[in-house]
Amino acid sequence: MATETRPDRSEGEVHKSAFEQLMEYGRARGYKLDWLSPRETFGSHLESRAEQGGLLLQDVDRGPFGQAPDWSDNLTGRPRGALTRANTPRVGNYSVRTKADIWLKNGAQLYEEAVQRQWSSAVDIPWETLEELPDEIERAECQLATFLTEVEFVAGDVPGKWIAETTPDYYEPRMYLITQIMDEARHLDVFRKRALANGGGLMLQVSNSTAAGGVIDSARDFTEMSARLHISGEGSVLSLFRMGERMSYNDAEKAIYRLAASDESRHVAFGVMHLQYLAQTDPERREEVHSYLDEIELGLVAAANGQNPAARGTPSNAALTVLLGGGTDPASLREGQNILLAVRQRQVKEYVQRIRVAGLGDRFENGRANPELMRYVTA
C-alpha cells in the first residue's frame, strides 16, 4: 500500500520549529490540530512535595485551572480550565452556577483531608473488646445506635442531590460532598454493626420523616440545606460524639465515637466555611441566612431537630440518660440527666461559636437569637 511521504522542506521551513512545521503540514491536509497548541502553563513544573504530604489539589490548580468564576455558564461537564468546544452537548441543567451559592475557601483542603483519613469499620474498630453488658445498658446502646443509623442515612442522602446540581466549575465542593457521602455510609454501617454485634439488635425507629430529613431535604437552595445539616444537625451530633468517652463501655465504642467525630468535624467545618464565604462575598443574603438560623434555633429549643439525639422526650434522649448515668435506678437516672444537660449546653455553646466564626455572630449581640436557646449559654 502506498504511503504518503512528507515533501522536502524549503529553506524557509528550516527556520520554523518542529511544532510549527507539524501544524502547517496537518492543516494543509485537513486535520484540526488546534488542541496541540500549548497552554500558557505548558512546561511549568511543580516541586516535589513528597515530604509535605504529596501532590494536593491546591498545588496543581494554577493560572486558568485555579480560577473558579463568580458565575458559570458551563453546562457541558467541561473540566474547569479546559478549552471549550462549540459542538459539545449539554449534559447537565445545573442549578448551582453562582460561586457564592456553594463555595468555601478551603474546599480542596477538606477534600484532601477526607481522602487521607478514611477508615474501615471492619478492621479499625476493636470489636473483640465487646463484652456482655447489663440488659438495660445494652438496650440503651442499641436504641442510640438505631437512631444514629437513621440520621447518618439522612446526612448522606441529602447532600447527594446537590452534587449533580452543581456546575463542574465548582468541582472542589462537589468532590468534598462525595467524600461526605462515603463518611456517612461508613457511619451508618458502624452503628448498625454496633446494634447487632453484642446480642442486642435494632430497636425503635426514633425519627419521623419531617423531623429527621423532611425539613433538610426540602431546603430551597444549597446554603439553606448546609445550614440545617452541617451547622445544626451534624453540629449537634459532633458535640455528642466528643462525649463518646463518657458514654462508652468498651474500647470498640470509644473508637467508633472518636473516628466518627473526626469525620463529623470536617462536615461541620464545610458548613461554617461556606456560610463565612457567603457572608463575606454576598452580604445582601445575610438576612436570608439569619432567617434560616431563626428556624434552626426554634427547632433546637422545641426539640424538633430530628438529628439531635439529646433532644428532650425522645427514645434516644432516654437512652443517653441511661448510658451517661450508668443504669436505670433513680440515682443513675438523675446523674444521667445532669450530664445530658451539660451535653445540651455544650451543643448550644458550640453552635454559637460556629455562627460567630461564620461571621453572623451579630445575632447574639442584637437580641435576634432565640432567648430560650441562649439560656443554655448563660446557665
Q: In the prediction, which pLDDT does 186 show?
A: 97
Domains and CATH numbers, the chain: 130-378 (1.20.1260.10)
| Model pLDDT, residue 48 | 58
Grid coordinates representing 274? Answer: 461556606
- Please report the sign of the dihedral spanned by the C-alpha atoms of residue 354, residue 358, residue 363, residue 366: positive
Sign (positive or negative) of CA dihedral 191, 296, 177, 105: negative
Q: Smallest Cα–Cα separation from 358: which of 296, 284, 294, 268?
A: 268
Determine the pLDDT at residue 301: 81
What pLDDT, on the 0 to 100 scale, is given for residue 228? 93
Position 212 scores a pLDDT of: 42
Q: Give the Cα separation of 67 and 80 in Å (integer).
A: 8
pLDDT for the residue numbered 211: 44
pLDDT computed for residue 310 by the predictor: 63
Q: Give the integer Cα–Cα distance in Å for 71 and 50.
A: 35
Per-residue HEC secondary structure of the chain comes to CCCCCCCCCCHHHHCCCHHHHHHHHHHHCCCCCHHHCCCCCCCCCCCCCHHHCCCCHHHHCCHHHCCCCCECCCCCCCCCCCCCCCCCCCCCCCCECEHHHCCCCCHHHHHHHHHHCCCCCCCCCCHHHCCCCCHHHHHHHHHHHHHHHHHHHHHHHHHHHHHCCECHHHHHHHHHHHHHHHHHHHHHHHHHHHHHHCCCCCCCCCCCHHHHHHHHHCCCCHHHHHHHHHHHHHHHHHHHHCCHHHHCCCHHHHHHHHHHHHHHHHHHHHHHHHHHHHHHHCHHHHHHHHHHHHHHHHHHHCCCCCCCCCCCCCHHHHHHHHHHHCCCCHHHHHHHHHHHHHHHHHHHHHHHHHHHHCCCCHHHHCCCCCHHHHHHHHC
User: What local confidence, expressed as pLDDT, does residue 213 receive?
Assistant: 45
| pLDDT attached to residue 130 | 97
Contact yes or no for 351/230 (Cβ under 8 A): no
Q: What is the pLDDT along the chain (379 residues), one digit of tens a residue?
A: 555 555 555 544 556 777 778 878 888 888 877 777 777 767 667 665 656 778 888 888 877 888 999 999 999 989 998 888 888 898 888 999 999 999 999 999 999 999 999 999 999 999 999 999 999 999 999 999 999 999 999 899 999 999 999 999 999 999 999 999 999 999 999 999 999 999 999 999 876 544 444 577 778 899 999 999 999 999 999 999 999 999 999 999 999 999 999 999 999 999 999 999 999 999 999 999 999 999 999 888 876 555 676 666 677 889 999 999 999 999 999 999 999 999 999 999 999 999 999 999 999 999 999 999 998 887 6
Provide the pLDDT for residue 50.
Answer: 55
Q: Which residue type occupies 82?
A: A
Give the amino acid at 297.
E
Q: Report the predicted TM-score, pTM, of the whole model to 2 decimal places.
A: 0.87
